[in-house]
Structure 1
């Protein structure tokens, strides 16, 4: 009894001494009393005043000591609010908890926590099944427990988190004071990579030193591949630097080793080297390309410098930059220069070329200025750049691109007066013959439509003259068409064309007799030029000569038109005895239109827009040559001859109203003929052949997702034979001979996308498909006239489901428990046919006075197949009916290998090539772990 009392008194003395130092451990005990092993909750009772009445008679000596210590801590905190630092260096409370139990040894100052334990200290958070704390040394140990007696697998292993860094391990030790730790079998994730090591050490600044580690981007428990690291240093959020390392695939070490390396992990912009790619090209030799340095200038812009070099002397440099200012603008800039040398120096096949490319894209945020905007899309390259660029050699679209366009646009709006001022710089480049068409600048001024005679304070019915409106458009341009090598040597006055144009349209809209809509209009166009060209014939040199005179020259023209249209509605009720009461009525809408236009003859001498000179031919005859001094001007010249034409239009629309199958009391409309139009014109100013050809347009909407369009042309004048027996279009109309016009031809294009779901619907198996969503319910026949709009949503959904399936690790099964068979595929067919007269004189039939018809057909086919999870095949091809051969055919195969991606593509004639790529999916290793094999441009594969 005395010994037991002595031990209790000694424990109280130790507790008092430790309490006087304000140890955070006991502050945590006060904040969260130990309740599991000591079972003190049952002994707490509350009185009516809310104070705790504790029955101390049921406590043993250890429980009583802890209780008195907690009460003493509470009293000392109330008396002294100052938090004095401990001599051990711990500056914050240590908060801990355990679900199962905790054993505290006051003599050795240690604590054992069992069952989902948790220890928190400042930014440190440690969770583990078992935690051992030593208060003297400020060290905490954590480990897991074995699942069973076999002791093969640990559960509840430590999870250590310090700030944003997180580590998983089997066993670890950590010092509160020095913030250093020793970890066994650590596992951590850095960006896309995962790190493991047998033994790791963490220093006070967060760096981790690894021994016998491995790095991988595979998230599987048994990774498909990893890089075995003998030693490494991890700076969380920055990089990993490692010593000798080698590649391991499927647990098989490969003889691919490097002496040292690093992986960057930083989330912010940082400068660094860009590793080049290597390879071999027949004409230029071995190469290193796309290597350089990345400059992280600021958060608003960056710079990337790349270079390439070949063993046969070719080299190139490029610079790329991205810039962005939030809520103001963003864009990118790219410039590249290449010095290409092919063949052997001194031999006839040696060629040296310099080429360059400039790209600039700029977009202004709509929030920056709602009344002003600036945008740019510049894509300029010398004609030899794409042929010398290694990347373009394997891209058929780049090689077959014939034109490049660039533009810079600026506009501002004055909303108070409805005026818009805009300026544009345009550049069109023909890659085949290196010709360039440039407009710099192109200034436009426009005033929106306004009503000059409209009253500001209108009262009563609107007058007819108040419906007259007008607007204004002005354009000032300076342009040139030249060759690529002559652009910088051109003369601004002699070689460039410039001028100004004004357009003022005046129009009105009136109703005549309440049923006829009348729309008169008047258009005035004025052109201002700074020069004109006078031509004459030189009798001495027998050549045409031109003299350019500079000054102000005004060229104008005008025309007026008048159109009238109306609608006539006709209703038919079918005979009930023949058609029953299913059809309620048939509506026929006829829309006749008549228009008249007139323009005077601006080729008359009083306008001065045309001139002539006498030309003496070699045989002595004299010829009068007519020309216009403004024929090469920027906006041209008004046409010769008076025009006065009348146009006729006759459009029809037929719809039928029938009872709906779903509701016996409701009706729905069905389109019989959506549009059947006839259009023709008569030129009153023409002395011969005043009638135009008759054009017919037919549009049918008999299917839900398909519109049938047919455009046909019927000639008005018949063929006749001249004295030599050759056919020509005469002056006699077909209807003058009691015949219909001559059918000249038509054109039609259709496309169709076929999928397994559409086949099921065609054979009555669409119920399951409709349950998948509204997208499937809306797609009945699935026919689409636009081949580019046939996006295979089923294929996309299947690939998305495959990714979810991989992530879950369980295969999808049917109702019987078997794995579902799924092979999503889609094939799109596009067919076009054109029917025209074959105007070969040898094939003219003199009996029927007709040319035979010629058919031009095009057939395109594209599709993709997902043969299994991760396997995708896509292809595109067609048939050339003119040459009776296959058109350009491409095929590609993609294989998703979880951590790697393999793709192979083949392009057939005329640019036959192949491309095989095998690379890691993770962005951090995509340039390090990859293999590319491409066919050269000169040694393309040939299939016979």
Structure 2
């Protein structure tokens, strides 16, 4: 009991000495990041270290000598010491439960006022407070260390004479959630807060409210809120929410709400609503729309299923059906691989029946539409590239599609063009390939002009007889070089309904063009340069025209013969050249010393 009395007395003396020698307020300029422990000045730390040393010496001096105790006294002493340690540990745990668990880091651009008596701190001028994963920035911040409370507000704008504009409004960030407000109160321990005039973004929408409350789970309860997709502080349109509950990153559930456009409330109200927020794809059914169409009857359309396959591509399957027998299916997909390629694909097929079967006005048509867009990143592959822009539809498709009936631009479109381009290079052998496919479609008379494909082949100059490992002088035949260029073309001009029934040999215009130049460069008698060259040009066709004289009708008769046909020509040339140099010394009497020697060069070829 004497030991406890001495400890209590020394603690009272230490507290009295600290209170007598320290001022209740300490104000200083901040220019670095610090914690609340750094608010104690160096003099305070020195005094505390001295007092702690005196306490340790006093405690050690008043400790009983356990070596002079018998077994009974030693057991009683250890039992009492264990009880004292347990009481002291419980006291520390209670103090820790009422306080905070981690250091609080803060900065203030202007100044800090710390009250040691009430354990509060006031920060002024672009202040920030960081605790665990929470970050608060405001012009003014007031912290209460014992209750773990923090209050943040903005400051009046000196340039505003009315005094209604605030600068440095609180911005609170916790994990991926971010809130902007005029006034904020937050409890570090319970993670609950009260926010005035909050502004936050959830996915593609923005939420505002006059008063908000945040619970420990991160849910926000709004009163007199606004939801809009306009990013302005004062939106042009929004849904006014009387009250709502926001689960960040998940959804918003709200009570009575109405639409406001240009600050004018509209008579469009709903008793309750729900907005989902999701950052991941999810599969699900797509509900169809219903209606009535005079020629095809009642319908269910645009219903199906959405497949969220992964983050790189998805798939949407839709269908439509009519009571008079018409039906259709469509598939749409988007794909994207970062830094490689991206694109979309769409295909639709329709079986349309207009009128009643057996009646004179009954018609049946099948139509389809294909759209493909593909883009490749320029840095994905420096040796190969692929791009596509395909928009093909049968002429009857737009007339039978309900979406096109209400789109005048689609109905008045006269031509459609599609193209696909591909190129690659084999740098090791100097070979380059490039191919294009083009389609031009006239929607008025269903005429189609198609080139599929137009392939170009190029092989850079190479020396076929050159040795890989040269030993000695270069041989004359090693100077022979050659290259190759070729083109394959396949095109057709026809009607839309005849395209799929066309014959590749008889209806398409196709051929293969080859060009092979061979050249060399030699030296004859050490003075004459010899440059022979040989060019071979070859053309391959799938048909030819034989012309003959019709003596009976006195005219030329043309007969088309189908099959493999080859036409070629070649030419050979040789060039010789050399250089002759001469020197002429001019007459001194005529030219004097101005010209020493005149050199002339003759280059005969």
TM range (shorter): 0.5 to 0.7
State the match for 1:325 in structure 2.
Answer: 337
Q: C-alpha separation between the residues in 2 aligned to 1:101 and 1:421? A: 71
Q: C-alpha separation between the residues in 2 aligned to 1:477 and 1:293? A: 42
Kindly state the Cα deviation for residue 7 of structure 1 after the two structures are TM-superposed: 14
Is residue 122 of structure 2 the alignment partner of residue 113 of structure 1?
Answer: yes
Q: C-alpha separation between the residues in 1 aligned to 2:449 and 2:441? A: 7
For residue 15 of structure 2, give the secondary structure of its aligned residue in structure 1.
helix
Aligned ranges 1:579-728 → 2 under 5 Å: 609-611=546-548, 626-630=557-561
Q: C-alpha separation between the residues in 1 aligned to 2:163 and 2:378? A: 65
Match of 1:188 among 186, 197, 200: 200
State the match for 1:95 in structure 2.
Answer: 105
Q: C-alpha separation between the residues in 2 aligned to 1:404 and 1:147? A: 59
Aligned CA distance change for structure 1 residues 426 and 115 (closer, same or farther; 3 Å): closer
Q: C-alpha separation between the residues in 2 aligned to 1:297 and 1:251? A: 42
Match of 1:31 among 16, 35, 38: 38
State the match for 1:336 in structure 2.
Answer: 348
Aligned CA distance change for structure 1 residues 139 and 385 (closer, same or farther; 3 Å): same
Question: Contact 2:383–2:425 (CA<8 Å) still a contact in 1?
Answer: yes
Kindly state the Cα deviation for residue 289 of structure 1 after the two structures are TM-superposed: 7.8
Report the more deviating stretch, 315-324 or 495-504: 495-504
Is residue 115 of structure 2 the alignment partner of residue 104 of structure 1?
Answer: yes
State the match for 1:247 in structure 2.
Answer: 259
Residue by residue over 1:814-850, the C-alpha shift from the partner in whole angstroms, topping out at 9 and shown as x without a partner, is: xxxxxxxxxxxxxxxxxxxxxxxxxxxxxxxxxxxxx
Aligned ranges 1:192-591 → 2 under 5 Å: 193-218=205-230, 221-263=233-275, 295-305=307-317, 317-340=329-352, 351-365=363-377, 367-389=379-401, 390-391=403-404, 394=407, 396=409, 399-402=412-415, 404-407=417-420, 409=422, 411-413=424-426, 416=429, 418-421=430-433, 427-436=439-448, 445-448=457-460, 472-475=484-487, 483-489=495-501, 500-504=512-516, 524-527=537-540, 529=542
Aligned CA distance change for structure 1 residues 420 and 189 (closer, same or farther; 3 Å): closer
Residue by residue over 1:308-352, the C-alpha shift from the partner in whole angstroms, topping out at 9 and shown as x without a partner, is: 788998765543323233454443322223455667888765655
Q: C-alpha separation between the residues in 1 aligned to 2:245 and 2:171? A: 20
Aligned ranges 1:4-43 → 2 under 5 Å: 9=12, 12=15, 28-33=35-40
**TM-score under structure 1 normalisation?**
0.42
Aligned CA distance change for structure 1 residues 633 and 428 (closer, same or farther; 3 Å): farther
Q: C-alpha separation between the residues in 2 aligned to 1:380 and 1:191? A: 35
Question: Contact 2:184–2:193 (CA<8 Å) still a contact in 1?
Answer: yes
Kindly state the Cα deviation for residue 92 of structure 1 after the two structures are TM-superposed: 0.7
Question: Contact 1:377–1:408 (CA<8 Å) still a contact in 2?
Answer: no
Kindly state the Cα deviation for residue 105 of structure 1 after the two structures are TM-superposed: 6.6
State the match for 1:161 in structure 2.
Answer: 173
Aligned ranges 1:113-152 → 2 under 5 Å: 113=122, 115-116=124-125, 118-128=128-138, 131-143=141-153
State the match for 1:557 in structure 2.
Answer: none
For residue 560 of structure 2, give the secondary structure of its aligned residue in structure 1.
coil
Question: Contact 1:29–1:70 (CA<8 Å) still a contact in 2?
Answer: no
Aligned CA distance change for structure 1 residues 212 and 393 (closer, same or farther; 3 Å): closer
Q: C-alpha separation between the residues in 2 aligned to 1:14 and 1:527? A: 109
Residue by residue over 1:662-715, the C-alpha shift from the partner in whole angstroms, topping out at 9 and shown as x without a partner, is: xxxxxxxxxxxxxxxxxxxxxxxxxxxxxxxxxxxxxxxxxxxxxxxxxxxxxx
Q: C-alpha separation between the residues in 2 aligned to 1:75 and 1:494? A: 112
For residue 322 of structure 1, give the secondary structure of its aligned residue in structure 2.
strand
Aligned CA distance change for structure 1 residues 623 and 343 (closer, same or farther; 3 Å): same
For residue 324 of structure 1, give the secondary structure of its aligned residue in structure 2.
strand
| Greater C-alpha Rg | 2
For residue 200 of structure 1, give the secondary structure of its aligned residue in structure 2.
strand
Question: Contact 1:185–1:199 (CA<8 Å) still a contact in 2?
Answer: yes
The Cα RMSD (Å) is 5.8
Question: Contact 1:195–1:215 (CA<8 Å) still a contact in 2?
Answer: yes
Unmatched segments (≥5 aa) in structure 2: 1-8, 20-33, 56-91, 471-475, 521-532, 569-605
Q: C-alpha separation between the residues in 2 aligned to 1:396 and 1:635? A: 47
Kindly state the Cα deviation for residue 146 of structure 1 after the two structures are TM-superposed: 7.8
For residue 90 of structure 1, give the secondary structure of its aligned residue in structure 2.
coil
Question: Contact 2:372–2:389 (CA<8 Å) still a contact in 1?
Answer: yes
Kindly state the Cα deviation for residue 213 of structure 1 after the two structures are TM-superposed: 1.0
Kindly state the Cα deviation for residue 413 of structure 1 after the two structures are TM-superposed: 3.6
For residue 179 of structure 1, give the secondary structure of its aligned residue in structure 2.
coil
Kindly state the Cα deviation for residue 633 of structure 1 after the two structures are TM-superposed: 7.2
State the match for 1:175 in structure 2.
Answer: 187
For residue 246 of structure 2, give the secondary structure of its aligned residue in structure 1.
strand
Aligned CA distance change for structure 1 residues 94 and 388 (closer, same or farther; 3 Å): same
For residue 335 of structure 1, give the secondary structure of its aligned residue in structure 2.
strand
**TM-score under structure 2 normalisation?**
0.61
Question: Contact 1:404–1:430 (CA<8 Å) still a contact in 2?
Answer: no
Question: Contact 1:373–1:412 (CA<8 Å) still a contact in 2?
Answer: no
Kindly state the Cα deviation for residue 483 of structure 1 after the two structures are TM-superposed: 4.5
For residue 366 of structure 2, give the secondary structure of its aligned residue in structure 1.
strand
Aligned ranges 1:910-925 → 2 under 5 Å: none
Q: C-alpha separation between the residues in 2 aligned to 1:72 and 1:269? A: 63
Q: C-alpha separation between the residues in 2 aligned to 1:199 and 1:190? A: 18
State the match for 1:685 in structure 2.
Answer: none
Question: Contact 2:139–2:154 (CA<8 Å) still a contact in 1?
Answer: yes
Q: C-alpha separation between the residues in 2 aligned to 1:150 and 1:414? A: 72
For residue 206 of structure 1, give the secondary structure of its aligned residue in structure 2.
coil
Question: Contact 2:349–2:366 (CA<8 Å) still a contact in 1?
Answer: yes
Number of aligned residue pairs: 491
Unmatched segments (≥5 aa) in structure 1: 1-5, 17-26, 34-39, 41-51, 55-63, 77-83, 458-462, 509-519, 534-608, 616-621, 639-944
Kindly state the Cα deviation for residue 253 of structure 1 after the two structures are TM-superposed: 1.5
Question: Contact 1:498–1:633 (CA<8 Å) still a contact in 2?
Answer: no
